[in-house]
Amino acid sequence: MTQTKRGPYIFKRAGSWVMRYRETVNDGGTLKTVQRARPLCAASMSKGEARNRARNEMQKLEQTRPAKPELIVTLGDYVTRVYLPFAEDS
């Protein structure tokens, strides 16, 4: 399997390794790419160990994300477009 992305960016801040990555979010129907940062571990670990931990964390994040951000529907849209028409037909 060929990896198309290099993975998260790893750097030290205030005595710990930090993972920085980008995520696409649905903000009121508009897709936006936002940059996130998450502390990983103490700076006493080597950069290689921190990088491996960051890859594991990214795999966990990928598994918990919705399939596609553009498919996320707000509660208000769901009620007006799906629920109310169904309830009125019943």
What residue spans define the domains of the chain?
Answer: 9-89
Convert the pLDDT of each residue in 44-83 to its tens digit.
889 889 989 998 888 888 887 766 666 667 778 778 888 8
The percent of residues above 90 in pLDDT, for the chain, comes to 10
- Contact criterion met (CB below 8 Å) for 9 and 20: yes
> How much is the pLDDT for 65?
72
- Contact criterion met (CB below 8 Å) for 84 and 76: no
pTM of the model: 0.59
> How much is the pLDDT for 1?
37
6 or 27, which is more confident: 27
Helix (H), strand (E) at residue 54: helix 47-64
- In angstroms, the CA 1 to CA 9 distance is 21
Q: Which residues, 6 or more positions from 52, have their beta carbon under 8 angstroms from its beta carbon?
A: none
- In angstroms, the CA 51 to CA 13 distance is 15
